[in-house]
């Protein structure tokens, strides 16, 4: 990317004496542009980005927008354009990368937008220990070891790990647990670990098992199964029937991994198979992850599109945004061609540091893979559209039940969780036209020091106070889609009164709010609904809207309890050594190895602390004084 891209002088918004919106605005920019490659942005009268695009020749591309003859969507976009911004690049490849980055960052209204941009898990075989651990890993690859992935989901990783442990008997315990074991754990008893923590396998034999696991994950599974089969036969002939049975179980575990993966193409070593289905202005993209000739799962995505967008446009935008922060495989096998194949291949190749091939197969095994991906995309989109229709009907029912002006587009549901006031947390879940919006969920660690333990009213007031304070700061004009159309509170008249007080203080009492209480005998189906200044009421026991509200309340309850349990587990697992100045990970490990536990460290005398390797006399005194003061 050229220096000019980071130089503010290279980015311009052009003339200021422009007509208000439309073709005249765009035409006025032409005299300021040259034929450089770059990225352009169209903005409305309030400077909100409408569209981000790239161009090999900025002047030619913008000139195209200055004349009529576009699709209704583009015509509407042009009519709303009040200004433009430009950023030149050295090459069109740089422009493509910058375009996709800006689309993800700015989320323009008229671009294809990939809304679900999760990271994917890997399997990590560690390399920092004499007896490496095999585990699931998500995020940056900072830890030293061999990484295998990506897998489409945590479930796909867990299933593979489960079978690999049966097949290769590799440990999955943490290093600290490994160091403190004095006898084998349950994993050894159920034959999923070889017991290296207590010396039940030599370092050399364990290393051989690690190599076999890596070979299997690298696609050399047939060779391993042949070797295990030969060993099983030899053990059987030598009448070592227990060993033969163990080898049989390992072969069976490897076979189960392969059968669970379903599709295991012989002619495709490393590729992502991407199938697209468009229907009624909606899109589903299905991605199959093929690594080491094995199917490591599939995932569906639903980018935001318009009815007039072509498959080529949607596919190209998806690829650009999807691989912006993900590792690119050696091949992309597509159901639909894209316009700039060479350009996209070059951009992804530059990012990966090697050649990336993009192809649309016409025959053979690859065609069957694409057909499977497209079929999955079509079926997934059909299910989603059916669910959306049901969801829309339920939201209309919510509006009718609570007297709202229209179906709510964002419902926020709040709940608290604690045990006798300890580790108190608040949870907020969000429901929208497409279901639960999990990326919008929020947790609140209750901080109020003056709260009486178990004060549910006080906790709810703190949560809503923090929520509205942030909303007023981040979206004061209520135009960014962050504000709720309806609040559902878990509780009755007291909770509603407490929340109404907070809403009055913040000047947001116009937002509809309903308290959901269990009702008579706290029986499911007899919920009562409380609203400020209105009589309490209930819905019919078999009303679908009531089931919908119960589902939202249960989700809020699940999220709040899960957050509370995580906080409680963290506090229970907290190690007092973490709070001592000068005690880092290495010295903490040395102390735990020497004494066996943090409690034993706290009881140690000064001379014993000084005897620990790596602990200086000064640090020993710091540790000793820390526990004495406590």
Domains of the chain: 3-106 (3.40.1440.10), 122-261 (no CATH), 270-381 (3.30.420), 411-567 (3.30.420.340), 576-629 (1.10.150.20)
Q: How far apart are CA 272 and CA 286, in angstroms?
A: 10
Check pLDDT > 60 for residue 3: no
Asked if residue 411 lies in contact with residue 488, where contact means CB atoms within 8 angstroms, the answer is: yes
Q: Give backbone dihedrals phi and psi of 52, rounded to 5 degrees, phi first.
A: -120, 130
263 band by pLDDT with thresholds 50, 70 and 90: low
Which tens digits make up the pLDDT trace of 72-85?
899 999 999 999 99
Strand partners, 359: 333
| pLDDT for position 253 | 66
Listed in sequence order, the residues at least 6 apart from 279 whose beta carbon sits closer than 8 Å to its beta carbon are: 378, 381, 385
Which tens digits make up the pLDDT trace of 550-559?
999 999 999 9
Choose between 545 and 520: higher pLDDT.
Answer: 545
| pLDDT for position 451 | 63
Which H/E stretch holds residue 612? none
* pLDDT (average), residues 495-521: 88
Check pLDDT > 60 for residue 17: no
470 band by pLDDT with thresholds 50, 70 and 90: very high
Check pLDDT > 60 for residue 421: no
| pLDDT for position 265 | 73
Burial 357-367 (b: 16+ CB within 10 A, else e): ebebbeeeebe
**Range from 25-29, 370-374, 507-511, 618-622 carrying the lowest mean pLDDT:** 618-622
The model carries a pTM of: 0.73
**Range from 97-106, 227-236, 266-275, 339-348 carrying the lowest mean pLDDT:** 227-236
Long-range contacts of 261-267 (CB under 8 A, 24+ apart): 261/294, 261/295, 261/296, 262/295, 263/288, 263/290, 263/295, 263/369, 263/372, 264/293, 264/294, 264/295, 265/290, 265/293, 265/295, 265/365, 265/366, 265/369, 266/293, 266/365, 267/364, 267/365, 267/366
Which tens digits make up the pLDDT trace of 561-599?
888 787 777 665 566 777 788 888 788 888 888 887 777
Q: Tell me the range of 130-134, 215-219, 561-565 where mean pLDDT is highest.
A: 130-134
**Range from 62-76, 493-507, 614-628 carrying the lowest mean pLDDT:** 614-628
Check pLDDT > 80 for residue 423: no
* pLDDT (average), residues 35-60: 94
**Which three-class secondary structure state does DSSP give residue 323?**
coil
| pLDDT for position 262 | 52
| pLDDT for position 16 | 46
| pLDDT for position 2 | 42
Check pLDDT > 90 for residue 612: no
Asked if residue 312 lies in contact with residue 341, where contact means CB atoms within 8 angstroms, the answer is: no
Which tens digits make up the pLDDT trace of 353-381?
999 999 999 998 999 999 999 999 999 99
Choose between 146 and 598: higher pLDDT.
Answer: 146
Check pLDDT > 70 for residue 410: yes
Dig out the tokens for 372 from the structure: 């499977």
Write down the mean pLDDT value for the chain.
85
Give the whole-number percent of the chain exceeding pLDDT 90: 43
Check pLDDT > 50 for residue 4: no
């Amino acid at each position: 990317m050229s220096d000019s891209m980071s130089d503010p002088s290279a980015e311009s918004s052009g003339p200021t004496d422009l007509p208000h919106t439309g073709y005249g605005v765009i035409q006025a920019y032409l005299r300021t542009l040259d034929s450089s490659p770059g990225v352009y942005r169209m903005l409305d009268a309030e400077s909100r980005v409408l569209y981000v695009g790239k161009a090999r020749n900025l002047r030619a591309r913008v000139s195209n927008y200055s004349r009529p003859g576009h699709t209704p969507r583009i015509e509407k976009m042009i009519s709303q354009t009040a200004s433009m911004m430009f950023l030149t690049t050295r090459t069109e490849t740089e422009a493509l990368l910058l375009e996709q980055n800006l689309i993800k960052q700015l989320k323009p209204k008229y671009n294809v937008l990939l809304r679900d941009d999760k990271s994917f898990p890997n399997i990590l075989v560690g390399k920092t220990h004499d007896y490496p651990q095999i585990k699931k890993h998500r995020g940056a690859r900072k830890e030293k070891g061999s990484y295998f992935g990506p897998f489409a989901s945590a479930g796909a990783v867990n299933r593979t790990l489960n079978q690999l442990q049966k097949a290769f008997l590799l440990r999955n315990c943490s290093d600290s647990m490994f160091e403190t074991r004095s006898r084998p754990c349950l994993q050894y008893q159920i034959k999923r670990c070889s017991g290296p923590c207590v010396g039940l396998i030599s370092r050399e034999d364990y290393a051989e098992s690690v190599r076999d696991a890596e070979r299997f994950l690298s696609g050399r599974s047939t060779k391993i199964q042949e070797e295990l089969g030969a060993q099983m036969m030899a053990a059987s002939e030598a009448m070592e029937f227990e060993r033969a049975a163990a080898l049989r179980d390992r072969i069976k575990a490897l076979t189960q991994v392969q059968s669970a993966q379903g599709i295991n193409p012989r002619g495709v070593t490393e590729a992502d198979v991407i199938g697209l289905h468009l229907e009624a202005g909606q899109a589903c993209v299905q991605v199959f992850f093929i690594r080491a000739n094995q199917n490591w799962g599939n995932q569906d995505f639903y980018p935001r599109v318009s009815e007039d967008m072509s498959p080529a446009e949607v596919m190209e935008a998806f690829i650009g945004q999807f691989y912006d922060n993900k590792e690119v495989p050696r091949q992309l096998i597509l159901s639909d061609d894209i316009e700039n194949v060479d350009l996209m291949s070059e951009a992804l190749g530059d990012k990966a540091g090697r050649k990336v091939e993009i192809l649309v197969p016409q025959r053979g095994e690859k065609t069957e893979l694409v057909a499977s991906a497209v079929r999955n995309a079509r079926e997934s989109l059909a299910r989603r559209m059916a669910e959306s229709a049901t969801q829309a009907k339920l939201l209309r029912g919510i509006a009718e039940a609570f007297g709202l002006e229209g179906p709510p587009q964002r419902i926020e549901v709040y709940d608290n969780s604690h045990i006798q006031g300890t580790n108190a947390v608040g949870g907020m879940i969000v429901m929208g036209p497409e279901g639960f919006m999990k990326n919008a969920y929020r947790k609140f660690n209750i901080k109020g020091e003056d709260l009486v333990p178990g004060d549910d009213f006080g906790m709810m007031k703190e949560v809503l106070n923090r929520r509205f304070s942030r909303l007023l700061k981040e979206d004061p004009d209520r135009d960014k889609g962050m504000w709720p159309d309806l609040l559902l509170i878990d509780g009755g008249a007291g909770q509603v009164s407490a929340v109404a007080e907070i809403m009055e203080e913040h000047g947001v009492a116009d937002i509809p709010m309903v308290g959901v209480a269990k009702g008579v005998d706290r029986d499911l189906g007899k919920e009562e609904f409380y609203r400020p200044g209105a009589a309490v009421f209930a819905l019919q026991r078999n009303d679908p809207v009531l089931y919908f509200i119960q589902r939202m309340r249960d989700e809020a309850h699940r999220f709040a309890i899960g957050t509370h349990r995580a906080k409680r587990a963290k506090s229970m697992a907290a190690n007092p050594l973490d709070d001592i100045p000068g005690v880092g990970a290495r010295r903490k490990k040395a102390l735990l190895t020497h004494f066996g536990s943090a409690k034993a460290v706290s009881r140690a005398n000064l001379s014993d602390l000084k005897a620990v390797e790596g602990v200086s006399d000064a640090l020993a005194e710091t540790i000793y004084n820390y526990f004495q003061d406590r």
